[in-house]
Amino acid sequence: KTNEVSPDAHPKDNEPIAPIATAAFHTLSGHDELNEQMRMIDLTEEDLSLLRLMKPTVEREIDYITDQFYNTVLGVNKLEAIILEHSSIERLKRTLKEHIIEIIDGNVDEQYIAKRLTIAKIHKRVGLEPKWYLSAFQNLQNVFITVVYGEVLKDNERLKVVQTLTKLLNLEQQLVLE
C-alpha cells in the first residue's frame, strides 16, 4: 500500500513549461541570467522567509553592525579620505542601516536589483576599488554571523540561517561587482 503512487504525483502529459526550475527557487521574470545565478547559489523562497525571521535580531543589533563596519573602514586612510570627500560618516551610516534592513527583508525584486546597480555606479564614481568593497563586505559578514550566533537557535537552524545570509550577501556582491 505504501508503494502506491498517486496518479497525480508524476503528471506526464501535464509537464510544467520550465521543468527544471522548481517553484522553490527565487526567480524574477525577464532576468534569465540572474535567475541562473540565483539558482546556482541555491537561493530559494524558503531562504528569503527564513531571513525575515532574523529581522528583529538584526534591527536590535543594527547600531553594533554599522559601528563595527565603519570603525574598520575608517581605519584605512584611503577609505576615510573617500568618505570625507564625497559624503559623511553620519550619512553613510544611515544609508548602510537602511540597506542592511533591506537585505534582511529579502524582497529581491526589480527595485532591489536596480538599487544595487546604482550603488555600484556610486562606488565607481567615488573611486572605491572592488578589493576595498570586498574587504568591507567580509567585515560586514563577520559581524552579521557573530550576531546570528548570539541568538538562541538549534544547531541546524543556525547553520541554515548562516548559509542563507551568505547567499544573500554573495548575491549582493554579484550584482554590485558585475
Q: Point out which residues bind ligand HEM (CB under 6 A).
A: 73, 79, 82-83, 86-87, 91-92, 95-96, 99, 118-119, 122-123, 126, 128, 132-133, 136-137, 140
Shortest Cβ 169–ligand HEM spacing (Å): 8
**Complex with ligand HEM: residue 25 or 143, whichever CB lies closer:** 143
Nearest Cα to 145, choosing from 169, 126, 122?
169
Which of 87, 51, 62 has its CA nearest to residue 164? 51
- DSSP conformational letter for 4: P
Judged by beta carbon, residue 47 or residue 172, the one nearer ligand HEM is 172
What are the grid coordinates assigned to 69, written together? 563596519
Nearest distance in Å: CB 55, ligand HEM: 17
| Cell numbers found for residue 48 | 528569503
Q: Which is nearer to ligand HEM, 49 or 118 (CB)?
A: 118
**Closest approach of Cβ 10 to ligand HEM, in Å?**
44
Q: At what angle do helices 62-74 and 89-105 cross, to 10 degrees?
A: 130
